[in-house]
Amino acid sequence: MTVEQTKLADCIIIHDTVFGDNRGYFFESFNKKTFFDKTGLDVNFIQDNQSKSSKGVLRGLHFQHGAYAQAKLVRVLEGKVLDVAVDLRRESPTFKQYITVELSAESRTQFFVPRGFAHGFAVLSETATFFYKCDNLYHKAAEGGVIYNDPELNIDWQLSADELLISEKDQVLPKLSEMIESLQF
């Protein structure tokens, strides 16, 4: 496992060591001790989630705040997505900045998104199976989000507006400027 630091503090891209031969491949997708040794982050993942989506589906930008904030370790089991993390930590030097990472089953790359970030992804392949670990349980009253097309963020989702498939709930999320004062992580 190799770790790549990004421009956003504590957002990390993880490249797993894959062992392959004519039978297929094997890799260890998560080991708590190795993760700590390589990143210095002591994260206790307690919930796994998985979704399958078709091309153009955009999920996000979501977060949980307060005592229910979540760190996530995300990866793609099938297909390809554009994954996005937005720093919502007001005290951070990268506050309101974001990073995009292309994740695919082929690359087997993982992306660690710490607490205090909004997170989302758009499916770039015909279908994608998205998998992520969380270090805190979901709590409906603590959910929040930022609208995917916030002009202040100006995220390039690598798909045209007419290709995007977005839930009704995600289409009415507020702009960052409309909810920034209420953020608590």
Name residue 132's amino acid: Y
Q: Exposed, middle or buried, 88 (CB in 10 Å: 0-12/13-18/19+)?
A: buried
**DSSP codes of every residue in 59-125:** EEEEEE-GGG---EEEEEEESEEEEEEEE--TTSTTTT-EEEEEEETTTTEEEEE-TTEEEEEEE-S
Q: Active site residue: 119, 132, 138, 139, which one?
A: 132
Query: The tokens of 64 are what?
Result: 């949980």
Provide the pLDDT for residue 16.
Answer: 85
Residue pair 155/148 in contact by the 8 Å Cβ criterion: yes
Is 132 annotated as catalytic?
yes
The CATH number of 45-182 is: 2.60.120.10
User: What's the pLDDT at 124?
Assistant: 98
Residue with tokens 């960052």: 176
Indicate if 15 belongs to the active site. no
CA 63 distance to own-chain centroid: 10
Reported as a single tens digit per residue, the pLDDT across 59-86 is 999 999 999 999 999 999 999 999 999 9
**What was the pLDDT predicted at 184?**
77
Q: Find the catalytic residue in 62, 98, 119, 148.
A: 62
In tens, the pLDDT along 127-179 reads 999 999 999 999 999 999 999 999 999 999 999 999 999 999 999 999 999 98
For the chain, give every domain's residue range. Answer: 45-182
The reported pTM is: 0.93
State how far the Cα of 102 lies from the Cα of 45, in Å rounded to an integer: 23
C-alpha 117/C-alpha 87 separation (Å) is 5
